[in-house]
């Protein structure tokens, strides 16, 4: 959702309270697509601080459907996102305009709520999520979920750097 900041900036000390719905249907990150189990509207408070400065405060509750890093079971990952940004639109100060250029959620005097929240989701996105600390994962040979049943597969993982030494030992055993 795009929110125009020009009207807020034209009225000194104006405070605007907005409930902005998220338009994104899925969260796409690193080539993977994640569904939302819960997606509340973003509760925004935009304040004109005067002198071409705007304060953006907001919060939203989301729940993403992610997968366990070991057994690939579907998990719900709740996120409470809070945003507290201060934007400076002064033209004379080049450093402030460079900061606005880094804020990809600002396009001219428009605030793109979806991009702003997507950036915050990326910051809070887990590197790896487990269904439990005791999760045994999936067998590399047969693909069974080791949390549900065991298998008799040989899952010995040998270090490929030691292959030359293993070959030497094999040659001596044959003699």
**Looking at residue 153, what is its pLDDT?**
84
| pLDDT tens figures, 131-165 | 999 999 998 888 888 889 888 887 777 788 888 88
Mean pLDDT value of segment 118-142: 90
Task: For residue 32, give both structure tokens.
Answer: 């993977």
| pLDDT tens figures, 31-40 | 889 999 999 9
- CA atoms of 113 and 22, how far apart (whole Å): 7
Res 59 pLDDT > 50: yes
Give pTM, 2 decimals.
0.76
Q: Between residues 100 and 133, which one has the greater pLDDT?
A: 133
**Looking at residue 102, what is its pLDDT?**
55
| pLDDT tens figures, 35-58 | 999 999 999 999 988 888 889 999
Res 121 pLDDT > 80: yes
**Looking at residue 119, what is its pLDDT?**
92
Q: Between residues 9 and 47, which one has the greater pLDDT?
A: 47
């Amino acid at each position: 959702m795009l929110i125009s900041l020009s009207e807020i900036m034209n009225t000194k000390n104006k405070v605007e309270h907005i409930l902005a719905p998220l338009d994104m249907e899925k969260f796409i990150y690193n080539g993977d697509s994640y569904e939302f189990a819960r997606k509340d509207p973003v509760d925004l408070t935009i304040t004109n601080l005067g002198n071409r400065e705007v304060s953006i405060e907001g919060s939203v509750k989301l729940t993403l459907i992610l997968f366990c890093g070991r057994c690939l079971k579907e998990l719900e990952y709740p996120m409470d996102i809070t945003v507290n940004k201060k934007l400076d639109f002064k033209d004379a100060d080049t450093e402030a305009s460079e900061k606005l250029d880094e804020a990809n959620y600002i396009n001219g005097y428009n605030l793109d709520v979806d991009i702003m929240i997507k950036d915050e989701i990326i910051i809070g996105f887990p590197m790896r999520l487990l269904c439990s600390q005791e999760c045994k994962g999936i067998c590399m040979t047969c693909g069974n979920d080791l949390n549900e049943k065991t298998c008799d597969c040989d899952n010995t993982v040998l270090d490929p750097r030691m292959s030359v030494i293993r070959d030497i030992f094999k040659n001596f055993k044959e003699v």
